Amino acid sequence: MSEGNHTPGPWQVGDEGPGTMTIEATDGLRNCVLAEITADIDFDDEDHANALLIAAAPDLLEACEDLTRRDFWTTHEDDCDCAACEAYRRFIGSAKVVKLVTAIRKAKGL
Ligand SMILES: [Zn+2]
Q: What is the distance between the alpha carbons of residues 28 and 8, in angstroms, rounded to a whole number?
A: 12
Ligand 1 geometric centre to CA of 83 (Å): 6
Please choose, from the candidates 26, 34, 108, 23, the residue with its C-alpha nearest in 3D space to the C-alpha of residue 65: 108
Ligand 1 geometric centre to CA of 76 (Å): 5
β-pairing, 20-26 vs 11-17, is antiparallel
Residue 1 has pLDDT above 80, yes or no: no
SS3 109: coil
Ligand 1 geometric centre to CA of 79 (Å): 8
Residue 2 has pLDDT above 80, yes or no: no
- In the chain, the amino acid numbered 29 is L
Q: What is the distance between the alpha carbons of residues 35 and 73, in angstroms, rounded to a whole number?
A: 35
Ligand 1 geometric centre to CA of 93 (Å): 16
State percent of the chain over pLDDT 70.
96
Q: Would you state the pLDDT for residue 41?
A: 82
Tell me the mean pLDDT in the region 56-84: 93
Give me the residues near ligand 1 (ion), CB cutoff below 5 Å.
74, 76, 80, 82, 85
This prediction's pTM: 0.82
Residue-wise pLDDT tens digits, 24-64: 998 878 889 999 999 888 889 999 999 999 999 999 999 99
Q: Would you state the pLDDT for residue 97?
A: 92
Q: What is the mean pLDDT of the chain?
A: 90
CB 25 within 8 A of CB 31: yes
